[in-house]
A and B are shown apart, each in its own frame.
Chain A
Amino acid sequence: MIKVQTPEPFDPLMQEPLLPPKGHYSASKLERVLRAGHFAVTSELNPPDSADPRDVLKAAEPLIEVADGINATDASGANCHMSSMGICSLLSRAGQGVVFQISCRDRNRIAIQGDVLGAAAMGVGAVLCLTGDGVGVGDQPGAKAVFDFDSISLLRTLKTMRDEGVFLSGRKLSTPPKIFLGAAENPCVEPLEWRADRLEKKVEAGADFIQTNYIFDVDRFERFMEKVRARGLHKKVFILAGVGPLASAKAARWMRTNVPGIHIPDSVIERLENADNPGREGKEICIELVKKMRRINGVAGVHIMAYRREHMVNEIIEESGVLKDRL
C-alpha cells in the first residue's frame, strides 16, 4: 500500500495564505514533488454534471491516494460540466493538490485573468493553459468560440501577472498569484517534425511543467524526447507523459476517430481485439506505458487520463511501482 499523508483542510478566509517554499513559484504539491526530484503523478478528474459538492469529492476519491495533482478539466472536448474553478476551489479547501485547467475556447482575456486571481485566492497553486478543442466536437456545437488567447499567449500573460505583478493592461496587482504554470503538448500528432519546437516556445512563454496528450505510440514519443533533450528542454521544464487505460478495441477506434488529437497505433488496437478481457488488457497496456515512461530520460512523471475508468488509477500506479521511492 502507498502511504498517504492525510491532507490538511485549507480555509482561505480563516488561515494565512499558503506561501511557496524558497525557490518555488507556488505552494502546490505538484511543484514540491517535482522539485524534490520524485517521479510525479497527476490524474484527470471526471467532472460531475451536478451542483452537489459531494459529487466532486466522490469523483476525486479514486485519485486522491496517488495523485500529486488532480486535474480539473475545463469543459474538455467542449462538453459542459461543473467548472474547473468550482472543482479546484472545493478540492483545495479539502487540502488536495489541484491543477486548474483553463481552455481559451470559452472565456476572453478579461474573464481568464480574473479567474486566475480567484483560483489563487482559493489556494490553487497550479494552472494548465490550453487552447482547447473546437466547439463543434462538444455537446453544444452552436456555441460561440472565443479563442481570444491561445495557450502560449495565455502562458505569457499569466507569467506576466505572476512575475511582474500586473494585468496585461499594466494595472498593478496588490497580491500577484503564486502559481506553477503548465501547458500541454501533443508529441504524437502532426506536425511531428515541429512538435519539439512548439514545446520550446511554450517554455519560452513561461511553462514550468508540461502534461502531454495521450501517448500510445512510444516510438513517436521517444523521437520527440530525443529532440527535447537535444534542445536541453527537459532541464527547463518538467514533462509529465500522458497515458490512460483503453476500455476496448471499439472504444479505442471511436476515440481515434472522434476525439481530437488522439493517435493510437493499430498494434495497440489489435492487442485489445485479441485479448480475452479487453478491459484488463487496456489496463495492462497502461501499466506497461507508465513503466516505459519512467525509464525515458527527461520524463518527470505521468499524467493519467482514465475517463470513466478512474477506479483503475490507483492500481495502475501501484502495479507500475513508480511510487516505490516514496514509500
Chain B
Amino acid sequence: MYSVRIFCARHARVFEKTYTVLESLFVLLHPILNKLGYNRLEKPVAIIEKLTKGFLFDCQMCGQCVLSSTGMSCPMNCPKNVRNGPCGGVREGGFCEVNSHMRCVWVEAWNGAGRMTSGLERIRAVQPPVNRELAGSSSWLRVVREKAELRLSLKQQAKQGGPDLAKAEMANAFSDARKNHPGVAPLATEPKAALAEQAVVEQTSVHKTHKAASQ
C-alpha cells in the first residue's frame, strides 16, 4: 500500500535495526535451514516474504532485495525500475516523472538513507542490473545462503576450477554492491525451486504501482 510504503521509508531507521537483527539470526540458523533443505523451504518462505514485504514496502519480489541500501524504499516501484536513482526527471516537490501523483521512490530512498545508521554509506554502492531469473524467489534465503556459505563455497569452487564465469563477472563488476547485498549478484548455488519461476516480470509491477499511488 502506497501510504505504508511511504511510512516505512520515513521510519527507515527502525526497519534497518529490525532487519539487521533478523538477518544475523537467520544466518545463525543456516545449518538448520540447510538441513531442512533450501529447495524445500523456497516456496513457503517466498510466500511469507511476499506477504510481509508486500504489505510494508509494496515489494515486487525481484529476489534481490536491496531495501537496506535504498533507504527502505523499494526501487522496483520506480516505473523505470531504476536501481541507482533518482533519474533526471524528478518533478518539482519530489514527485515521479512518469506518475505525477506518486512521490519519487528515489527521493524517498535518499531521505530514508539519511535517517539510517549506515544508509548513506550503503546507498552509494553501484547496484547491478536485476537478474530476472531470480524474480519471485526468496531474497531472504538467498542472503543467508550467500553470507553463510560464501567463504566455504568460494574455497570449494576455487578447487573445482572457479565459480560459474557469468556469475563471477557480475559479482566482480558490482563488488561494491555485493559487500552489503551479496544477493544482487549471487555466487552460491541456487536451489532448483528458486529458479523455477523464470517468467519475466512484465510491466504489471508498474501498473500495480500506479494503482496503489492513485488510491
Contact = CB atoms under 8 A, between A and B. Distances in A.
Interface of A: 104-105, 109, 131-134, 136, 144-145, 147-153, 156-157, 160, 164, 166-171, 184-186, 189-191, 193-194, 197-198, 200-201, 204-205, 213, 260-261, 263
A191 B107 contact: yes
Given A134-B89, A160-B173, 18 more contacts: A105-B80, A131-B88, A150-B83, A150-B84, A152-B126, A153-B83, A153-B129, A156-B128, A157-B173, A164-B172, A168-B169, A170-B168, A189-B92, A190-B104, A191-B86, A201-B84, A204-B176, A260-B88
A153 B92 contact: no
Contact of A153 (B79, B91, B93, B126): B126
Nearest to B113: A194
Contact of B88 (A148, A160, A194, A213): A213
Nearest to B124: A201
B169 A189 contact: no
Contacts of A193: 110
Contacts of A205: 84, 126
Contact of B89 (A109, A168, A189, A194): A189
14 contacts: A131-B87, A150-B83, A150-B87, A152-B83, A153-B127, A164-B172, A168-B166, A168-B170, A186-B89, A189-B88, A197-B124, A201-B124, A201-B126, A260-B88
Contacts of B94: 190-191
Nearest to B93: A190
Interface residues of B, number: 42
B23 interface: no
A185 B174 contact: no
A151 B169 CA distance: 19
Contacts of A156: 126, 128, 173-174
B122 to A, nearest CB: 12
A150 B82 CA distance: 5
Most buried by B among A131, A169, A261: A131
Contacts of B126: 152-153, 156, 201, 204-205
Contacts of B83: 150, 152-153
The 5 closest A-B pairs by CB, nearest first: A186-B88, A170-B169, A260-B89, A152-B84, A170-B165
B31 to A, nearest CB: 31
A153 B128 contact: yes
A261 B85 contact: no
Contacts of A263: 92
A190 B80 CA distance: 17
Given A150-B82, A190-B93, A205-B126, A166 B169 contact: yes
Contacts of A190: 86, 90-94, 104, 107
B88 A169 contact: no
A71 to B, nearest CB: 15
Nearest to B173: A160
B91 A133 contact: no
B97 interface: yes
B90 A148 contact: no
Nearest to A150: B82
